Structure 1
Amino acid sequence: MKQLNWATLGCGVIANELAHALSKEGRTLYSVANRTHEKAVAFAQKYGISKVYDNIDDVFYDPDVDIIYISTPHNTHINYLRKALSNGKHVLCEKSITLNIAELDEAVSLAKENNVILAEAMTIYHMPVYKKLNEIIASGQLGRLNLIQVNFGSYKDYNMTNRFFSRKLAGGALLDIGVYSLSLIRWFFKETPTQVSSQVKYAPTGVDEQAGILLMNDAVEMATVTLSLHSKQPKRATLSFDKAYVEIFEYPRGMQATITYTEDGHKEVIDAGDTSDALYYEVRDMEKAVSSASSDEIETLMHCQYTYDVMKIMSDIRAEWGMKYPEEE
């Protein structure tokens, strides 16, 4: 397989993790782009990256770039996606991939027109423990899935100028942490939810600080989600089947699941992967997808339809709330 050249657009925490992920195979990022040139230079020096762009847009026109990883705030994604996809670059984009389903529709169309892959960097779709659980579920030993319960609560300081509560930076619980919960649900549901209802508590800035969501699909699989940006709760997922239930803690980058069997209460612990390698698993699957000529294999690796389904759910929820970001007004 040809070694692919990765460029990072952004120099934050995720970009650092991306650099470490490539280093596991003795590789470095090909190039770095950032709005603040000095930060890009410092990032390049830290990781031995040879190419830094004077202008952030230069990354889109570099013929030697194969894949761009976008890790900027999600309200900036669509503008970068337009440029990257239009210039024939494959893109792995941080969650949430866009602000809304209309933006994602546009980006998907551009990817198809230019015969490139657009995928969301959703850890859940790549962690080995979830692939292992799907094998166990498919075997039938757990029975039918009935209910999923998902919690994600962070305690962020009540500072209305930070990105979590900022409308200008598309803050709020749903796009920042809810995307993980809904992605986990979509991973295990046989079909996308067709019935969704929700409640919301707003922060003083007008973004969603706290939310509760109920979902059900046509297979009558049900789920509940509880989110908060100002009230700590465990990142816990519980999946209830006819013959067992499964518990996963720290599920955004889960590496262990415990199965408790209903009949006799015995437990089985599933260990697969490592939390610290989350970006490595994403990179590996993305490179396999880029090197594949099969649309089915690409979907199996990157789960772009799941990304679309989750974005549709989040867009519909916000439409029901009447909550818009400045770019949508």
Structure 2
Amino acid sequence: MKKYNWGIIGTGWIAHDMADALNAVNGEIYAVANPNEESLKQFTKEKHVQKFYTNPDEMINDPNVDIVYIATPHTFHYEYIKKALNAGKHVFAEKAITVNARQFDEVEKLAQEKGLILTEGFTLYHMPIYKKVLDLIKAGKLGQIKMIQVNFGSLKDYDPNNRFFNKDLAGGALLDIGGYATAFARTFLDEAPESILTTVKFFETGVDEQSGIILKNTKDQMAVMALSMRAKQPKRGVVSGTKGYVEINQYPRATQTEITYTASAHEETHETITAGDSSKALEYEVRDMQRYVEQGHDEGQLEMSHDVAHILTSVRTSWGMKYPFDEEK
């Protein structure tokens, strides 16, 4: 496979983890950008990056950069994605890829027009265990998929000034952790939902603190999601069909699934399947992204992100919750 030069925008904790993954897979990192020069120089030295830029635009326009990795807060993704695509760069953006469906549709169209790969950093799209589960479902082992249940609860410290609760920074449970739950649900739904029911409890800053969400598509498949930012929940997903169900714990970086086959109401058999290594989750992302670029298509990942972005925006719209920049053009 061709050697690809990655340029990283941002030097936060996820950028540190991705830098380790890039070094593990490629043995090197070409460039990093961050306006904070002190943090930038420390990152460059620690992660053995060849070049650094205090101006991300200059890095984006470096002709040697092949793939731009965006690890900034959500609110900066849209502008950097547009700039990178217009500069002819492939883009791997952390979740949430954009803060609303309008932004997503614009960058999706731009990527398609430019013939470039645009991918979102949901680890569950890349963990090997999911291919095994999907193959099992395609083989009819679980029968017809009827119901998906998925939880994600974080326990963020009470701090109205923290970015997680800041409306100006697209805070709230939905964009911070809800994307994972929605991506899990959409992975196992045969088609995008046409009906969404939801209720929400707001934090004092006006962002969503916790919510319940029900999705239903034209095939009468349903997904039930529970999200919270002030109450810990197990990261647990269950996919249920007419012949059995699959339980996946720690689903964002899962390596194991427990399967219960229900031949009848009174007869059950069990199976455990394992695949992958959770510590290599970001390495799987790097390898997949480079494969997408190599082969010229993303194996349906952008389409999945499209549906997730539209679901999240529909949920927020039903709550009447808007971010300050939702109406910006």
Aligned 1:1-329 pairs, distance under 5 A? 1-25=1-25, 27-263=27-263, 264-293=267-296, 298-300=297-299, 303-329=301-327
Conserved 8 A contact 1:97-1:104: yes
Matched residues in 2 for 1:37 and 1:166: separation?
25
Output the amino acid matched with 1:212: G
Q: Deviations over 1:12-67 (max 9, x none)?
A: 12111112212223512110001212211110100111101132221111000000
Matched residues in 1 for 2:171 and 2:106: separation?
22
The gaps in structure 2 that reach 5 residues or longer are none
SS at 2:303 equivalent? helix
SS at 1:42 equivalent? helix
Q: Deviations over 1:150-191 (max 9, x none)?
A: 111111111011111111111001111110011011111111
SS at 1:4 equivalent? coil
Q: Deviations over 1:178-222 (max 9, x none)?
A: 100110111111111111110010000000000100011111111
Matched residues in 1 for 2:14 and 2:310: separation?
25
Identical counterparts, % of pairs:
48
Matched residues in 1 for 2:26 and 2:84: separation?
26
Q: Deviations over 1:264-292 (max 9, x none)?
A: 32211110111111111111111011011
Q: What TM-score results when the alignment is normalised by the length of structure 2? A: 0.96
Cα displacement (A) at 1:79: 1.1
Conserved 8 A contact 1:299-1:305: no
Cα displacement (A) at 1:115: 2.0
Aligned length: 324
Cα displacement (A) at 1:82: 1.5
SS at 1:18 equivalent? helix
Matched residues in 2 for 1:92 and 1:275: separation?
20
SS at 1:258 equivalent? strand
Output the amino acid matched with 1:325: Y
Matched residues in 2 for 1:17 and 1:254: separation?
17
Cα displacement (A) at 1:76: 0.9
Cα displacement (A) at 1:126: 0.7
Cα displacement (A) at 1:81: 1.1
Output the amino acid matched with 1:183: A
RMSD, aligned CA: 1.2
SS at 2:29 equivalent? coil
The gaps in structure 1 that reach 5 residues or longer are none
Matched residues in 2 for 1:228 and 1:73: separation?
20
Matched residues in 2 for 1:47 and 1:112: separation?
33
Cα displacement (A) at 1:241: 1.1
Output the amino acid matched with 1:101: A
Q: Deviations over 1:89-114 (max 9, x none)?
A: 10000000001011011111221232
Matched residues in 1 for 2:294 and 2:189: separation?
28
Q: Deviations over 1:60-89 (max 9, x none)?
A: 110000001101000111111121111011
Output the amino acid matched with 2:304: Y
Output the amino acid matched with 2:321: M
SS at 1:25 equivalent? helix
SS at 1:211 equivalent? strand
Runs of 4 or more, structure 1, over 6 Å off, are none
Q: What TM-score results when the alignment is normalised by the length of structure 1? A: 0.96
SS at 2:177 equivalent? helix
